């Protein structure tokens, strides 16, 4: 089990380092971390996925940090979550069509074809990425990289734990 937190921060140097350091010092394992600017100038959003811990403690500790404006826990059933994955799958000329057909079902884009491999790009819910990997695993996964998870509440569904300066 894990918890996904959406953290609105001022876009200042050192904010991400302070968040990561706080998690490390308190023993909170970060499963995924993504950060980027949002529609308000000077603000960024951190999507933080932590292991099953006392989420109340994580949010309290986050609010103690400088430049943190808002922390919301996102319910997985009421939020939109995505990851990007690049995966290189072993595919000789005899199996290439079969591998590409499987990828097509998942909406994966072929971005490179080598002599004995095919590389796909897939952007979807993290579970769909896992499902895709399980289907292509028997061909042989040669290389894999995933982005950090990004997430937002569905319209009107954010569960704000505490706020230190609404934006």
Determine the Cα–Cα distance for residues 85 and 107; give it in Å rounded to an integer: 12
What would the pLDDT profile of 76-110 be if each residue is shown by its tens digit?
Answer: 899 999 999 999 999 999 999 999 999 999 999 99
* pLDDT class of 167 with cuts at 50, 70, 90: very low
Cβ contact 139:90 at 8 Å = yes
The H or E element that residue 69 is part of is: strand 68-74
Architecture of domain 2-79+152-163: 2-Layer Sandwich (3.30)
165, pLDDT greater than 50? no
Strands 159-163 and 68-74, sheet pairing: antiparallel
131, pLDDT greater than 80? yes
What is the predicted pLDDT for the residue at 162?
42
Determine the Cα–Cα distance for residues 7 and 26; give it in Å rounded to an integer: 18
CATH entry 3.50.50.60 includes domain 80-146: no
What is the predicted pLDDT for the residue at 158?
54
159, pLDDT greater than 70? no
Residue spans per domain, the chain: 2-79+152-163, 80-146
What would the pLDDT profile of 23-47 be if each residue is shown by its tens digit?
Answer: 999 999 999 999 999 999 999 999 9
Question: Is there a shared CATH topology between the 2-79+152-163 domain and the 80-146 domain?
Answer: yes
- Verdict on whether the full-model pTM lies above 0.85: no
* Burial call 146-162: b when 16+ CB within 10 Å, e when fewer: eebbbbbbeeeebeebe
* pLDDT class of 53 with cuts at 50, 70, 90: confident
């Amino acid at each position: 089990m894990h918890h996904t937190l959406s953290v609105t921060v001022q876009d200042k140097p050192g904010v991400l380092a302070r968040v990561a350091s706080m998690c490390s010092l308190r023993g909170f394992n970060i499963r995924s971390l993504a950060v980027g600017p949002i529609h308000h100038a000077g603000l960024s959003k951190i999507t933080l996925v932590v292991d099953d811990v006392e989420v109340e403690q994580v949010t309290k500790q986050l609010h103690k940090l400088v430049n943190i404006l808002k922390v919301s826990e996102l319910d997985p059933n009421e939020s939109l979550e995505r990851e990007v994955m690049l995966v290189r799958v072993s595919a000789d000329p005899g199996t290439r069509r079969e591998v590409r057909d499987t990828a097509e079902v998942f909406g994966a884009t072929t971005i490179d074809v080598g002599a004995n491999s095919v590389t796909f790009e897939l952007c979807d819910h993290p579970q769909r990425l896992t499902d895709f990997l399980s289907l292509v695993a028997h061909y042989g996964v040669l290389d894999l990289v995933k982005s950090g998870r990004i997430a937002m509440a569905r319209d009107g569904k954010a569960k704000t734990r505490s706020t230190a300066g609404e934006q």
